Amino acid sequence: MTIKMAFFFGLLFSLISFGISMLVQIGIVGIFIASVFTAYFGTIVNKAVLEVYRECNGIH
């Protein structure tokens, strides 16, 4: 399950990175927006991984 999630989120981040790289080319505003997107999607991934580990270990 963990390897499957790693591939899924890796693919997701690689697709998102194309959009983020375009935002960075805008300038300082693009860099700020790209940072916010990166932090947001990082939080989503961490939350998803935590939920999977909670369910696998039976912790509520």
pLDDT score at 53: 79
Q: Which residues of 12-32 are buried (b: 16+ CB within 10 A; e: fewer)?
A: eeeeeeeebeebeeeeeeeee
* DSSP SS3 for 1: coil
Give residue 58's identity as a one-letter amino acid code: G
Q: Of 1, 19, 14, which is closest to residue 56 (Cα–Cα)? A: 1
Residue 1 or residue 31, greater confidence? 31
Q: What is the pLDDT of residues 5-59, one digit of tens each?
A: 778 877 887 887 787 778 778 888 877 887 888 888 888 888 887 887 787 777 6
